[in-house]
């Protein structure tokens, strides 16, 4: 103990000035006779206090949580406070996904280049693709501008004290696990940079980046590589078809990043209560995996479901009275502004004269063979946001104009609060009210069902306040092209701070976004669904119209996946009401709806016969029309539809009609282009050595790390391209049809409310809860998914005790 210096210092002070110790700025007279006694007493008290201060104390425990782990590694976290839940969630998430979580933290810190090298590509698997240096350049600039720190202090756009406390505790829970456990996952077991030093800011930046996946991070290369053209340089106009431009802007259904959700109300169920089937199609690998959790504060809070990695809250799930799921919305989270330059590519016109672009020099630490060095990159900004140079999206930086984007999801940090509030909802209307008050539903629709028998569809996500009237007044000529092709209004940057600024609704949580009265919704006791098409047709009868085009299209074509999801419900209701069992059965029905349409009138057989591929055509003719693991012929049709979509082949003779959206287009064309596409599909598969007569499950297998490289047979298919609700594919590979499945059906839940209190909950986390291949819970649910079965989720205390594997109590 270092006691002596403290005692000597205080004694010396008393002896030097016994009669003039200051208190409150005044001299206090001390009688001479008592000075020595006073000094001795003070010294003794000081010594005792010093000894007490130096004695080891038990550290005060700020957080406590009880984690009961049931079968399949599902954590049921119980605490007395939201901070305690955050602490338990941090610990449990780190246990299940150590490497992935720490990689997410690395990205949020802007340190990928320093630890992993600058040139490696990081793909977040939902749209953001770039080199580590590009990611670090953007993220470092966010740190330099203290974006998250400013939002944390913002009383309107920032998080609540409850959310802040939860995230602080989550960081403590992560660090607690890292301090007390050895990392065994080979993906990062030797990573020397992993330390128990995670901060709440790390988590907030990770949450913030998750808000931007439908906007800023999709433009990562366009932002980080934007450079002004040289003086006199000619910049060629891009040559793009309308289809290419729409695809580049994300206004098509080709992406595997999507979801299905169906809610059936009391008038259409055997229980008289609401039921929900939710299946988000998310990556099986990387930052946007789900983990399962059950969070409980006795008497105050009880919710279970799937949580995206790093969120200490349930994103998709259920409580005692309401269940909800999400699908990716067609709404835009941003608008591009086109600026006219003023004599220089970096000067531009405004309503108040000319301005110069903000030039931001960003320093990034990069690992090299000679050690770590600093490289500098440059970004450009206007008051609206980052300058982008994206010829593939018709937004090019030329000597006469450039584009910058304003991102509504970059202007808030309300997502966590929104989900925390939704988890306490008492019904679907209350759920929507809480969502609107939260103001942070970043990029998804909501489909929900409640115990009273009501169901909800709503797109109340964060969308810029750009009405059609404002868009018409403010679009530039190029901006009108973007709007016509993809519904994205390109606005006039010269007036961005005035007449063409985003508007404000009085009922919105904050300025600049559309309020609830401008957003589509329907509450009913029949049924609703969404499979990533726009809000226009939430079921076979209801039409939602009159909303701003920036949210989505109206009277527009529905995908084959939308049609099959609707068909499941319509076909069942034609026979009788939906039961919990029939609703669950839709998940594994594996109908390939596009094939049902193509086969009508023998058209598919005629097209195949024209290819001259007799053996393949016999396989296709005998195919059961499904994507079960036992089906034979699935791959041929899937490859045919994939190639047709990639090449823009017009497949149908009868075009889409808004008057009959669920059955048009139809009648497979027998044109040479269609015949050639099917012939190419057969050749592509045979050239890769695929046995066309083999069961689908022998070629369509999991690529998750937990299966020792052999893979597990997986049903399902390409989704929107083929009309398969059980979307599973190999995203980002040369062979999405028969490659290793790494994306698609993820956290699936079938929730049925029964009576006044009962819940019948069935779930499957398709890739398993734990990422470490050595864990027994790394692929157990993948095998359940392969066998087309379910996990009976333990919701009640009795169910939890029955399935209990171990209990962990943590304090810190």
Coil, helix or strand for 56? coil
The answer to whether 166 and 85 are in contact (CB under 8 A) is yes
Query: Any idea what the Cα angle at residue 305 is, between residues 299 and 306, rounded to 5°?
Result: 140
Residue 256 falls in the annotated catalytic set: no
Q: Are strands 258-264 and 527-530 parallel, antiparallel or unpaired?
A: antiparallel
Residues contacting 531, CB < 8 A, separation 6+? 258, 259, 260, 261, 327, 559, 561, 562, 565, 720, 725
Query: Any idea what the Cα angle at residue 539 is, between residues 534 and 543, rounded to 5°?
Result: 65
Asked if omega into 665 is within 30° of 0 (cis), the reply is yes
Coil, helix or strand for 372? strand
Separation CA 244–CA 252 (nearest Å): 10
Residues contacting 483, CB < 8 A, separation 6+? 471, 475, 489, 490, 549
- What are the structure tokens assigned to 393, written together? 């999206």
Separation CA 80–CA 67 (nearest Å): 13
Separation CA 178–CA 93 (nearest Å): 11
The answer to whether 215 and 405 are in contact (CB under 8 A) is yes
Output the 3-class SS for 552-576: CCCCCCCCHHHHHHHHHHHHHHHHC
Separation CA 508–CA 408 (nearest Å): 13
Closest CA to 633 of 617, 650, 647: 617
The answer to whether 793 and 42 are in contact (CB under 8 A) is no
The answer to whether 445 and 432 are in contact (CB under 8 A) is no
For the beta carbon of residue 648, count every other beta carbon within 10 angstroms: 12
Instruction: Supply the DSSP symbol for 73.
Output: G
The answer to whether 720 and 530 are in contact (CB under 8 A) is no
Residues contacting 244, CB < 8 A, separation 6+? 392
Helix axes 98-109, 132-144, angle to 10 degrees: 60
Residue 363 falls in which region: left (phi positive, over 0), alpha (psi -120 to 50) or beta: beta
Helix axes 98-109, 82-96, angle to 10 degrees: 110
Closest CA to 790 of 750, 753, 739: 750
Q: How many residues does the chain have?
A: 812
Catalytic residue among 50, 256, 259, 631: 259
CA distances from 457 to 227, 268, 276, 540 (A): 43, 16, 12, 13
User: Own/partner pairs for 508-512, CB < 8 Å, 24+ apart?
Assistant: 508/439, 508/465, 509/156, 509/414, 509/436, 509/437, 509/438, 509/439, 509/440, 510/156, 510/157, 510/411, 510/412, 510/439, 511/465, 512/408, 512/411, 512/464, 512/465
- What are the structure tokens assigned to 287, written together? 């930052």
Output the 3-class SS for 585-646: HCCCCCECHHHHHHHHHHHHHHHHHCCCCHHHHHHHHHCCCECCCCCCCHHHHHHHHHHHHH
The answer to whether 221 and 137 are in contact (CB under 8 A) is no
Q: Which residues pair with 325 in a beta bridge?
A: 447
Helix axes 634-647, 672-687, angle to 10 degrees: 120
Closest CA to 713 of 766, 765, 655, 756: 766
DSSP for 404-464? EEEEGGGS---HHHHHHHHTT-SSHHHHHHHHHHHT---SEEEEEEETTS-EEEE-----B
Q: Where in the sequence numbering do the catalytic residues fall? A: 259
């Amino acid at each position: 103990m270092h006691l002596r210096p403290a005692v000597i210092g205080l004694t010396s002070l008393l002896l030097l000035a016994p009669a003039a110790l200051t208190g409150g700025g005044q001299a206090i007279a001390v009688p001479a006779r008592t000075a020595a006694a006073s000094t001795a007493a003070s010294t003794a008290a000081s010594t005792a206090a010093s000894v007490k201060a130096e004695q080891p104390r038990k550290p005060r425990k700020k957080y406590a949580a009880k984690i009961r782990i049931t079968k399949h590694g599902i954590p049921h976290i119980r605490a007395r406070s939201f901070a305690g839940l955050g602490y338990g969630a941090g610990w449990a998430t780190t246990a299940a996904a150590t490497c992935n979580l720490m990689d997410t933290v690395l990205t949020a810190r802007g340190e990928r280049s320093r630890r992993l090298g600058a040139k490696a590509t990081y793909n977040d698997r939902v749209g953001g693709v770039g080199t580590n240096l590009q990611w670090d350049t953007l993220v470092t600039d966010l740190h330099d501008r203290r974006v998250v720190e400013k939002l944390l202090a913002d009383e309107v756009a920032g998080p609540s004290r409850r959310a802040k406390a939860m995230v602080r505790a989550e960081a403590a829970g992560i660090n607690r696990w890292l301090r007390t456990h050895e990392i065994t996952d080979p993906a990062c077991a030797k990573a020397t940079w992993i330390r128990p030093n995670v901060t709440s800011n790390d988590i907030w930046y990770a949450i913030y980046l998750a808000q931007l996946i439908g906007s800023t991070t999709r433009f990562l290369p366009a932002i980080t590589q934007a450079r002004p053209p040289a003086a006199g340089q000619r910049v060629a106009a891009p040559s793009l078809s309308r289809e290419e431009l729409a695809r580049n802007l994300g206004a098509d259904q080709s992406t595997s990043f999507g979801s299905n959700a169906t809610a059936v109300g009391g008038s259409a169920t055997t229980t008289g209560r609401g039921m929900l089937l939710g299946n988000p199609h998310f990556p099986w690998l990387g930052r946007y995996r789900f983990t399962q959790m059950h969070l409980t504060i006795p008497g105050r809070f009880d919710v279970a479901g799937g949580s995206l990695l790093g969120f200490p809250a349930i994103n998709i799930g259920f409580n005692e009275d309401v269940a909800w799921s999400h699908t990716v919305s067609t709404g835009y989270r941003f608008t591009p502004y086109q600026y006219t330059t003023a004599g220089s590519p970096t000067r531009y016109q405004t309503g108040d004269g000319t301005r110069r672009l903000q030039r931001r020099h960003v320093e990034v630490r990069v690992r090299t063979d000679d050690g770590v060095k600093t490289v500098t990159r440059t970004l450009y900004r206007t008051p609206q946001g980052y300058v982008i140079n994206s010829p593939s999206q018709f937004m090019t930086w030329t000597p006469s104009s450039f584009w910058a984007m304003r991102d509504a999801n970059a202007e808030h940090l309300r997502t966590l609060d929104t989900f925390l509030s939704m988890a306490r909802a008492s019904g679907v209307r209350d759920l929507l009210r809480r969502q609107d008050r939260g103001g942070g539903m970043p990029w998804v629709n909501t489909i929900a069902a409640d115990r009273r028998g009501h169901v909800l569809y709503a797109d109340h996500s964060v969308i810029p306040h750009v009405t059609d009237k404002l868009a018409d007044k403010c679009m530039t000529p190029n901006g009108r092209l973007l709007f016509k092709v993809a519904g994205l209004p390109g606005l006039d940057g010269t007036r961005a701070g005035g007449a063409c600024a985003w508007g404000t609704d009085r009922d919105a949580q904050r300025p600049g976004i559309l309020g609830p009265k401008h957003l589509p919704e329907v509450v009913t006791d029949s049924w609703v669904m969404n499979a990533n098409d726009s809000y226009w047709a939430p079921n076979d009868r209801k039409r939602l119209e009159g909303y701003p085009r920036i949210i989505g299209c109206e009277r527009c074509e529905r995908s084959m996946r939308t049609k099959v999801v609707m068909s499941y419900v319509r076909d069942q209701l034609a026979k009788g009401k939906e039961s919990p069992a029939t609703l669950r059965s839709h998940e594994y029905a594996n109908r390939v709806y596009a094939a049902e349409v193509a086969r009508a009138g023998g058209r598919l057989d005629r097209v195949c016969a024209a290819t001259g591929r007799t053996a393949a055509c016999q396989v296709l003719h005998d195919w059961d029309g499904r994507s079960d693991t036992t089906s034979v012929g699935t791959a041929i049709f899937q490859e045919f539809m994939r190639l047709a979509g990639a090449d823009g082949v017009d497949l149908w003779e009868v075009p889409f009609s808004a008057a009959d959206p669920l059955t048009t287009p139809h009648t497979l064309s027998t044109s040479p282009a269609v015949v050639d596409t099917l012939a190419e599909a057969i050749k592509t598969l045979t050239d890769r050595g695929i046995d066309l007569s083999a069961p689908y499950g022998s070629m369509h297998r999991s690529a998750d790390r937990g299966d020792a490289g052999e893979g597990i047979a997986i049903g399902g298919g390409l989704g929107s391209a083929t009309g398969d609700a059980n979307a599973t594919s190999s995203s980002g590979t040369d062979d999405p049809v028969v490659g290793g499945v790494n994306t698609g059906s993820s956290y699936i839940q079938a929730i049925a409310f029964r009576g006044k209190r009962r819940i019948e909950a069935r779930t499957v986390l398709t890739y398993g809860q734990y990422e470490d291949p050595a864990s027994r819970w790394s692929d157990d649910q993948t095998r359940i998914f392969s066998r087309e079965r379910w996990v009976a989720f333990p919701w009640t205390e009795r169910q939890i005790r029955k399935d209990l594997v171990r209990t962990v109590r943590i304090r810190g």
